[in-house]
Structure 1
């Protein structure tokens, strides 16, 4: 995807959060790590399981200084009703962005042409507004908050430790690799 390593584009959207409708802009995430978690629609089957998983891990995301923005093309009113009646969505404490104008979904290139809904996409944005991680899955495949946390911890580690890289399955505290010519063919 050409979006990896690029700056997010400007946006302004209404969000449902903590019982209120609030406006969110791209400027508000400046200086913080953020996750934009796109899903096709409220009141579906896989989507509430994913948002519940994020909600169940919300404290860990907060501990790492990560803001979460779930995004669908539904309205904030739909988000509110879903939050009010679904036991899974009632756990959500993060922003639920309404992208009725398809600006954010288009900016992140996950809007399904002719359908008006977003693909199942996850984007991790660093404090400078640069997209560092992208994951797109097919409609029936749910994502894992614990795997997302692991990837974010690796991205944060690499950002804080230039010249080091995190190998596959790296967990916080594991050894990293410092790339050097003498390692070529020895790993």
Structure 2
């Protein structure tokens, strides 16, 4: 079952953010756009390249009123240790959610059965807590923050412009479509 157009489920988790341990709930997510960025584990290989890529674009995401929540089944203590040990992870300013109970990974349907690890999953959530986009990739396939930003811009545009949709490869400022009977078979 797809999670698109469903509201995120309640959760409570410890997190590491900018040198502090904090608690985060689903209520903290409401009111602005959010990205939940699941990955299998800290101290691994593809994961730091992805988290570092998002960190390099974090300022741009914040200007778009987007908050990022990376999530793995590691504890907040492990997140801190990884942040302190890795130059790539050390530049992260966004919230690193800990999910050792698997509550969040289960809610987002990315928990690998019997492994205790999350799949690579990206979820774009609107300010009302409704999931607008989902991307799940296999273990060895890293994600791209620039494409994530493109999808976020499209989701924000569609939310702000009812009756319009963004075609393939749409970039901010390009033409959109207004679905109607007149367009059927003409694209």
Q: TM-score by structure 1 length? A: 0.99
Return the offset for 1:182: 1.0
Return the offset for 1:84: 0.4
Return the offset for 1:30: 1.1
Query: What's 1:47 paired with?
Result: 47
**Gap runs ≥5 in structure 2:** none
**Gap runs ≥5 in structure 1:** none
Structure 1 residue ranges, 4+ long, deviating more than 6 angstroms after superposition: none
Query: What's 1:100 paired with?
Result: 100
Query: What's 2:141 paired with?
Result: 141
User: Secondary structure in 2 aligned to 1:114?
Assistant: coil
CA distance in 2, matches of 1:2, 1:164: 23
Query: What's 2:162 paired with?
Result: 162
User: Secondary structure in 2 aligned to 1:151?
Assistant: helix
CA RMSD of aligned residues (A): 0.5
User: Secondary structure in 1 aligned to 2:139?
Assistant: coil
Query: What's 1:30 paired with?
Result: 30
CA distance in 2, matches of 1:148, 1:82: 24
CA distance in 2, matches of 1:167, 1:16: 37
Match status 1:110 vs 2:102: no
Q: 1:141-170, CA deviations, whole angstroms, 9 ceiling, x for partnerless residues?
A: 000000000000000000000000000000
Query: What's 1:4 paired with?
Result: 4
CA distance in 2, matches of 1:28, 1:98: 15
Work out the number of aligned pairs and report it. Answer: 187
Q: TM-score by structure 2 length? A: 0.99
Query: What's 1:16 paired with?
Result: 16
CA distance in 2, matches of 1:150, 1:13: 29
